[in-house]
Structure 1
């Protein structure tokens, strides 16, 4: 199931280059700057609505903001979004996942052009498949819906939805333009990395096309650690070489003004080779002396999508519609080479290989119908979502005695190859319906929504799984879940709105928890499937007030989310007839997270002509989370976090000073866990439109060179007594610059 994403996307790029371009140009998609709450979003309701008119908290990051903030990865993308955290691990694996209001992992739905990003999976110290599959340079917009969103997006939307939208040809073609060519080069000192990118777009009356290619090359991300050398005491980053490449290509055919066919091919490849200096020296657990440890991690994703949009269907069941079919292949391969001398003085080489592979086929269709009943106007949305996902995971390895040359696949506690769960196929089928009901003069909007999901899991026992788990019976699983939502928006004045919502979220029992399987008689334990697992669920209440005026915009939101039946993996449940300790995944945990969020901005020029061009932007998030089963705090919930920026924008240049402020962490699930101190960090950005074709962006982050621990970088289980806390610090003062040319 190995993917070949770059060749796949390049194939469509060649097709796009060869398409005919007629004489009539496309209109550009660029718009005048908007107030933050006047922006049009689609993820929250699947329809185009301004933020003032949606009954959810939605964050939007557009292309211009990404360029101004010199975004190169997910960490940069959400740097100034309190309540949204990107995790990062020290030493090898890098960026992990996105946490929304304290909930992360596979409990947040991540979409790229509507296609779900593959799952995260990790086991042990040598295996970590993350969800970092997006190149920010291919994006035109990002939308985040906070809170349970399963009424529209189904499983995994417990914590919210992160939706990435990639660029289209029309995003580059202004009025009167038939073609666009652009190039970009940049440098970032935080990881001594360079990035190169190029874009070409063509447009005519019916055909248009886009090709975007990018490449990054750099090293390990720096921190403020000062201890070098080899061994467990090292706090400086491990030496690392990193390369990332991406291709996005689109071909659009518009047979008429009100419909479009779109073929998209996208590919990403990433590789990181790490010299694991922190793993050298004597190992406390085994007594072995590691002399060399090298990691080679590779990650690929390929996506092909074919879709169709109709703006004027003119049928009883729909006024407009869109549908798409897709295939997506994602694969993570991580190899580890370890040379050591055992406690008994035997020199040996250990080679481990981890592979996690997902292939998904899907069909999505959405229909929209407007009608009136009595004094109410209705905007009905309904649709279906079908997907089939095949998931494979394997760990392999061999042990070589460097003295005798003997090679074996026995590396206790494993006899390789092994699978930690069987090859699994999951089929999902869902139907959703939502009605936006507008009363009277449009001041009051009610939004009921309902989605029904059918989830089927079918495992397959192959020779690898059977040999590692003799006699173990795996289980099929079939579940049906109903997810309702009710929202309300009251525009009590043209530029003010009150909103409230009640929503359910859920996550289907994962294949690896339902059929986890491993037995090790020598160590006295076994893990067994659990066909009785229930879906994890959430119930959320949210309410807030928004204002969008010509000078001031602001939004204040309060929320309370309750989570039930969280799955605890490999929970000890007793002993079997053979005296082995038995582990099984079970629904045991309940939690709640509640908090308050604020976003605001002021156009100072609207207050006084003397302040023309100046503006203020700020945001803050306070939250509290509790594990109600264990009666202890949730460590994944961030402390009070805020950002405040002051900017000046002129016709050809601009600058912004942004502060990030975090309160010290006060609560943890155990007394001996490290509570990271509070901090304030200043970042400075500048842009200069040198000519209409040439643009320069530059930034200095952490101006005061402060040592601090950012949320998501510090593992949740680090003890106060740890001697290597500086490993998890953020980079010191660093600079980034980007030069873009467009014709």
Structure 2
């Protein structure tokens, strides 16, 4: 049991921070720099989520945030969810749990987000909410994470009316130095937040025309120290292993073939205390195992051919075994397992040409996904014969679509990018009629560049999200005397439809306080209009005790707000500031949707000291409070949690030792003030904790 944090309000005053930033940047501008290239990558990384083609972040006509591998390492992220805690208008539920992490962009539901790994959309949003929703991956494998705020993109397929999250995994080319043919990298670290000990090792190299990399990462953790001010009372033991292999061959200068394989195994076991005493027979055991193989082909030959093709196979198994002691019935247990199998892929080409006096960049292609899930139930005491799980019928899903987008340059100042997509889906489950539909969704983005380094954009895109299998078919009914919960299926759900509007600005300046400094600013105002919104309704049954749940279309939800980010670098100093504001309203009830953080602020400061090879940094996060109004058709009101701010500091040491292996050591203190807080969705973060790590590259 966790105690509620103090409901106090933190006051954020940005003026002093901005003045301090300006003063510090001017003072440090005179320092010599050996990390200019690294600073440039931090300031303006290359992203692909806006147009499916690489472009600098500062030139994308969309609200996009990017987190690089250096930032992931500096934070010492233990889970995938922790990577997103610094991005405004992105909420993370259960960030400390790889299994139960849920993400929200601009107040969206987590299943309204499109998840992409190395260019392939992931469709594992099933398993009645028990499955890792969208993505399960170890942070050690990631080169870069991109978040595209707002939906309606024609380029990534069905869904994504809330936004897109795209991951790029590390490759041998990212680790090999010029003229190097082989290398080994090893890392170990410890975090007091969850008593986690981690270790990873990679071997990578290049032989003739083949690049290859093989890596293993393992984590072993215990009880978490959460932001309620104390360590968790449950006696937990969590283990995870990630195996990663990738090989790429370039038979010609124009083409590259690659094959990647991921294996993930996760298991967490814990005892829950009863009146402060642990019952060894009262246990919870969660397990997850995933195989994912991806074959890719890249072909570039002149302006007409820039082909990218991917084919992915995924097989996953999730199990949940619960043993509980019930009044008058003694020990009772239930075990569930879900098997998931999926084939998915995409093919696209980009052609660049001049026509009718205008420059065109035409991207066109298609994608598909075919998934199946089978669910079983068994007795965890005996592990005897399994039976079909009545709550999750065997089900299949099919999604495919075709898209085309043209970026038309009208001179040097004006670009028009129309896009259109046709999407189709089909859902099937035992005991239910099949359900299918399709829709054409258009979009348009206009970009104006009145001068070098300054651009404005406006976009309108239609989105389309079919219901996933657990929204349609999941059902649950228990004896109300012991577990008064009922979940009703709803096979008559309609697909969600949205219009996503955005107006924004990009600005890139240099020479503000010193000759070598640079400032990139990105700002956006958005309005998302979602109809046939799928909501999980809850109410009390006729007995007044049973809580009932069912997915339903509630009609009309709007999301509006602001996003602002600024990155500044001068000499060895860099700063990253971001602000997010979001307001979500149920238009039918004329009521603000609860459980969504209305405002958030992020500030990161970093500095490199070449003489000592030290890189200190500071991070500040602030989250505003939300109202605690009772949501529409909700059995109980939301609890109101106060605004809060957290501070973190860290230091990395990267000495250069001639004729010796590269060495990096890091230390981070999270939540320095041990702030007691909860996010407005009820999730805890970590209390004050230290993280240390050491990396060696041979």
- Quickly name the TM-score band, shorter chain normalised: 0.7 to 0.9
Match of 2:443 in 1: 485
Greater CA radius of gyration, 1 or 2? 1
The verdict on how the C-alpha distance between 1:301 and 1:313 changes in structure 2, with shifts beyond 3 A counting, is: farther
1:673 to 632, 635, 638: 638
Query: Structure 1 CA distance, aligned partners of 2:548 and 2:104?
Result: 32
- Identify the range of structure 1 (622-631 vs 445-454) with the bigger mean alpha-carbon deviation: 622-631
Question: Are the counterparts in 1 of residues 205 and 212 from structure 2 also a CA contact under 8 Å?
Answer: yes
Q: Tell me how far 1:187 sits from its aligned partner.
A: 0.8
Q: Tell me how far 1:58 sits from its aligned partner.
A: 0.9
Q: Tell me how far 1:146 sits from its aligned partner.
A: 0.7
Match of 1:323 in 2: 309
Query: Structure 2 CA distance, aligned partners of 1:426 and 1:444?
Result: 41
Question: Are the counterparts in 1 of residues 268 and 285 from structure 2 also a CA contact under 8 Å?
Answer: yes
Query: Structure 2 CA distance, aligned partners of 1:525 and 1:221?
Result: 29
Match of 2:13 in 1: none
Q: Tell me how far 1:139 sits from its aligned partner.
A: 0.8
1:662 to 623, 642, 645: 623
Question: Are the counterparts in 2 of residues 556 and 596 from structure 1 also a CA contact under 8 Å?
Answer: yes
Question: Are the counterparts in 2 of residues 38 and 548 from structure 1 also a CA contact under 8 Å?
Answer: no
Q: Tell me how far 1:150 sits from its aligned partner.
A: 3.7
Asked if residue 189 in structure 1 is aligned to residue 192 in structure 2, the reply is: yes
Q: Tell me how far 1:552 sits from its aligned partner.
A: 1.9
Query: Structure 2 CA distance, aligned partners of 1:483 and 1:123?
Result: 28
Match of 2:405 in 1: 434
Asked if residue 600 in structure 1 is aligned to residue 566 in structure 2, the reply is: yes
Match of 1:166 in 2: 169
Match of 2:149 in 1: 146
Q: Secondary structure at the match of 1:66?
A: helix
Query: Structure 2 CA distance, aligned partners of 1:646 and 1:570?
Result: 43
Q: Tell me how far 1:530 sits from its aligned partner.
A: 5.1
Query: Structure 1 CA distance, aligned partners of 2:506 and 2:103?
Result: 26
Q: Secondary structure at the match of 1:222?
A: coil
- Unmatched segments (≥5 aa) in structure 1: 1-29, 228-234, 282-288, 401-406, 410-414, 462-472, 576-580, 606-611, 716-727
Q: Tell me how far 1:292 sits from its aligned partner.
A: 4.3
The verdict on how the C-alpha distance between 1:48 and 1:211 changes in structure 2, with shifts beyond 3 A counting, is: same
Question: Are the counterparts in 1 of residues 190 and 196 from structure 2 also a CA contact under 8 Å?
Answer: yes
The verdict on how the C-alpha distance between 1:568 and 1:86 changes in structure 2, with shifts beyond 3 A counting, is: closer
1:62-120 CA distances to partner (integer Å, 9 max, x unpaired)? 11121222222123211211111221189x88642111111132111112113333534
Query: Structure 1 CA distance, aligned partners of 2:149 and 2:538?
Result: 30
Asked if residue 337 in structure 1 is aligned to residue 308 in structure 2, the reply is: no
Q: Tell me how far 1:304 sits from its aligned partner.
A: 0.8
Question: Are the counterparts in 2 of residues 145 and 161 from structure 1 also a CA contact under 8 Å?
Answer: yes
Query: Structure 2 CA distance, aligned partners of 1:399 and 1:136?
Result: 35
Aligned pair count reads 641
Question: Are the counterparts in 2 of residues 505 and 538 from structure 1 also a CA contact under 8 Å?
Answer: yes
Match of 1:498 in 2: 456
Query: Structure 2 CA distance, aligned partners of 1:154 and 1:648?
Result: 41
Q: Tell me how far 1:208 sits from its aligned partner.
A: 1.4
Question: Are the counterparts in 1 of residues 191 and 690 from structure 2 also a CA contact under 8 Å?
Answer: yes
1:103 to 103, 108, 111: 108
Match of 2:469 in 1: 511
1:352-374 CA distances to partner (integer Å, 9 max, x unpaired)? 11223221112311111111112
Question: Are the counterparts in 1 of residues 185 and 203 from structure 2 also a CA contact under 8 Å?
Answer: yes
The verdict on how the C-alpha distance between 1:351 and 1:620 changes in structure 2, with shifts beyond 3 A counting, is: same
- Identify the range of structure 1 (431-440 vs 613-622) with the bigger mean alpha-carbon deviation: 613-622
Query: Structure 1 CA distance, aligned partners of 2:146 and 2:479?
Result: 49
Question: Are the counterparts in 1 of residues 229 and 687 from structure 2 also a CA contact under 8 Å?
Answer: no
Query: Structure 2 CA distance, aligned partners of 1:642 and 1:686?
Result: 22
Q: Tell me how far 1:167 sits from its aligned partner.
A: 1.0
1:303 to 292, 315, 338: 292
Match of 1:39 in 2: 45
C-alpha RMSD of matched pairs (Å): 3.3
Match of 1:425 in 2: 396
Asked if residue 446 in structure 1 is aligned to residue 413 in structure 2, the reply is: no
Q: Tell me how far 1:306 sits from its aligned partner.
A: 1.2
Match of 2:140 in 1: 137
Q: Secondary structure at the match of 2:214?
A: strand
The verdict on how the C-alpha distance between 1:144 and 1:278 changes in structure 2, with shifts beyond 3 A counting, is: farther
Correspondence 1:20-419 to 2 at 5 A: 32-34=38-40, 38-88=44-94, 95-121=100-126, 129-131=132-134, 133-225=136-228, 236-277=232-273, 292-312=281-301, 318-340=304-326, 342-343=327-328, 346=329, 348-397=330-379, 418-419=389-390
Match of 1:591 in 2: 557
Query: Structure 2 CA distance, aligned partners of 1:275 and 1:663?
Result: 34
2:607 to 627, 645, 648: 648
Question: Are the counterparts in 2 of residues 118 and 358 from structure 1 also a CA contact under 8 Å?
Answer: no
Query: Structure 2 CA distance, aligned partners of 1:201 and 1:56?
Result: 35
Q: Tell me how far 1:35 sits from its aligned partner.
A: 6.3
1:447-473 CA distances to partner (integer Å, 9 max, x unpaired)? 1111111111222x3xxxxxxxxxxx5
Match of 2:22 in 1: none
- Unmatched segments (≥5 aa) in structure 2: 1-35, 511-517
Q: Tell me how far 1:625 sits from its aligned partner.
A: 0.9
Match of 1:563 in 2: 530
Question: Are the counterparts in 1 of residues 43 and 568 from structure 2 also a CA contact under 8 Å?
Answer: no
Query: Structure 2 CA distance, aligned partners of 1:190 and 1:132?
Result: 23
Match of 1:232 in 2: none
The verdict on how the C-alpha distance between 1:630 and 1:485 changes in structure 2, with shifts beyond 3 A counting, is: same
Match of 1:731 in 2: 686
Match of 1:622 in 2: 581
Match of 2:651 in 1: 686
1:639 to 592, 598, 602: 598
TM-score normalised per structure 2:
0.85
